[in-house]
């Protein structure tokens, strides 16, 4: 392949890295699809196996040449991991990206490629002045000092935004391994804070943040649930369901008027949210008797009980909750159909 055509597959005419990131994301999605096709022959992967394959097969593709472009967050690169998490956890596309990552216990890929970018910068600073990469870097640094935006400018911003501006000013880091460990820990802490902050600030996370406070894989991801049960459970947890509290958002109904349609037919005005659907609505009382474990049935109905049920990591409890949700959503669709409502768009 001629060299100009090789460059054309990675750069725009202005030698911008945008096309590179698009190409890497496209190739990584192909590799991701291959991983899920393996399940036809080996069975469904639990989260440990799946993410080991992701880190081995997909992540190296996404990280290619990130020493040069990894100075800032790239949404197209991040979305590949988000889509992998959603597919693994059987989540709908309407689920916020931060929910999918926290549910699977994953941090943004920016932690990895920003670390590689800074690590390469350290390598450049330690090169002898006779080497061409060092001379190019010194030229970029001089342009940055004259307020021209270059790659050195982006490395500068990365270091300053994470509290390491003094390292850029001094031009050296001292002990390389100690600095990289400290910088990586800073990136991890900032990523965790950003993810949990997004969960807490979203109206969709009103109930999710009550039982999800740590970024770690959920127990049900390693349990042999069927696709249907996992789909019901994960989307109920992450507000990817079709209860009125979410459906009313798209219908532009005020939050205070998103009533349960089944209770409304009985002139009972209750907002149909997760707590109502799981513990309160009398339509599903028989299903609760059939699927709930004794400890849940004997407890006082409250938000505390809801949090206890959703955070329960016992395998028996996970199966009980998933079976209840599956049966309850089926009953809801049937009741709405019998009431003459159009429930084709309520498929869960």
- Whether residue 312 is contained in a domain is answered as yes
Task: Give the pLDDT confidence score for residue 6 in this predicted structure.
Answer: 38
- Whether residue 231 is contained in a domain is answered as no
Q: Are residues 154 and 54 in the same domain?
A: yes
- Whether residue 230 is contained in a domain is answered as no
Backbone angles phi, psi at 139, to 5 degrees: -65, -45
In this predicted model, what pLDDT tens digit does every residue of 38-82 receive, in sequence order?
Answer: 877 777 788 898 999 999 999 999 999 899 888 888 999 999 999
Q: How many domains does the chain have?
A: 2
Q: Are 29 and 79 in contact (CB under 8 A)?
A: no
Torsion, Cα 286 288 290 294, to 10 degrees, reads -130
The two tokens of residue 109 are 């890929």
- Whether residue 232 is contained in a domain is answered as no
In angstroms, the CA 210 to CA 228 distance is 25
- Whether residue 185 is contained in a domain is answered as yes
- Whether residue 331 is contained in a domain is answered as yes
In this predicted model, what pLDDT tens digit does every residue of 147-184 receive, in sequence order?
Answer: 888 888 889 999 999 989 888 888 888 888 999 999 99
List, in sequence order, every residue forming a beta bridge with 280; answer none if it has no partner: none
pTM score = 0.87
In this predicted model, what pLDDT tens digit does every residue of 239-256 receive, in sequence order?
Answer: 988 899 998 888 888 988
DSSP string computed for 61-100: HHTTTHHHHTTS--HHHHHHHHHHHHHHTT--TTS-HHHH
User: By residue range, what is the domain housing residue 76?
Assistant: 1-225
- Whether residue 260 is contained in a domain is answered as yes
Using alpha carbons, select from 275, 278, 295 the residue that is nearest to residue 287.
278
Q: Are residues 42 and 127 in the same domain?
A: yes
Helix (H, G, I), strand (E, B) or coil at 107: coil
- Whether residue 326 is contained in a domain is answered as yes
In angstroms, the CA 12 to CA 17 distance is 7
In angstroms, the CA 27 to CA 10 distance is 12
In angstroms, the CA 313 to CA 311 distance is 6
pLDDT: which is higher, 266 or 328: 328
**Where do we find the tokens 């393996």?**
38
The b-or-e profile of 165-192 (16+ CB within 10 A means b, else e) is eebbeeeebeeeeebeeebbeebeebbb
In angstroms, the CA 265 to CA 269 distance is 9
């Amino acid at each position: 392949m001629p060299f100009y055509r090789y460059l054309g597959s990675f750069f725009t005419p202005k030698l911008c890295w945008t096309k590179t990131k698009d190409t890497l994301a496209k190739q990584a999605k192909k590799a991701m699809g291959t991983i899920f096709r393996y399940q036809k022959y080996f069975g469904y992967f639990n989260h440990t196996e799946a993410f080991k394959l992701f880190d081995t097969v997909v992540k190296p593709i996404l990280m290619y040449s990130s020493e040069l472009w990894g100075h800032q967050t790239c949404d197209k690169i991040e979305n590949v991991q988000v889509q992998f998490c959603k597919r693994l956890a059987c989540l709908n596309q309407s689920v916020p990206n931060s929910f999918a990552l926290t549910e699977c216990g994953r941090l943004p890929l920016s932690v990895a490629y920003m670390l590689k970018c800074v690590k390469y910068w350290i390598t450049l600073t330690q090169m002898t002045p006779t080497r061409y990469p060092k001379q190019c870097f010194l030229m970029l640094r001089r342009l940055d000092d004259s307020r021209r935006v270059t790659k050195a400018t982006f490395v500068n911003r990365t270091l300053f935004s994470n509290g390491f501006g003094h390292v850029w000013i001094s031009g050296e880091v001292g002990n390389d391994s100690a600095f990289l460990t400290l910088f990586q820990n800073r990136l991890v802490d900032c990523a965790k804070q950003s993810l949990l902050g997004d969960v807490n600030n979203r109206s969709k996370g009103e109930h999710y943040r009550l039982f999800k406070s740590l970024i770690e894989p959920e127990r049900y991801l390693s349990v042999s649930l069927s696709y249907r049960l996992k789909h019901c459970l994960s989307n109920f947890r992450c507000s990817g369901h079709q209860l009125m509290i979410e459906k009313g958002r798209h219908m532009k109904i005020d939050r205070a008027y998103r009533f349960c349609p089944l209770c409304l037919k009985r002139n009972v005005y209750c907002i149909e949210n997760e707590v109502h659907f799981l513990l309160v609505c009398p339509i599903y009382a028989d299903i609760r008797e059939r699927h709930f474990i004794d400890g849940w049935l004997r407890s006082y109905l409250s938000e505390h009980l809801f949090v206890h049920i959703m955070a329960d990591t016992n395998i028996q409890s996970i199966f009980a909750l998933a079976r209840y949700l599956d049966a309850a959503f089926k009953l809801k669709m049937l009741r709405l159909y019998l009431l003459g409502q159009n429930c084709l768009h309520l498929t869960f």
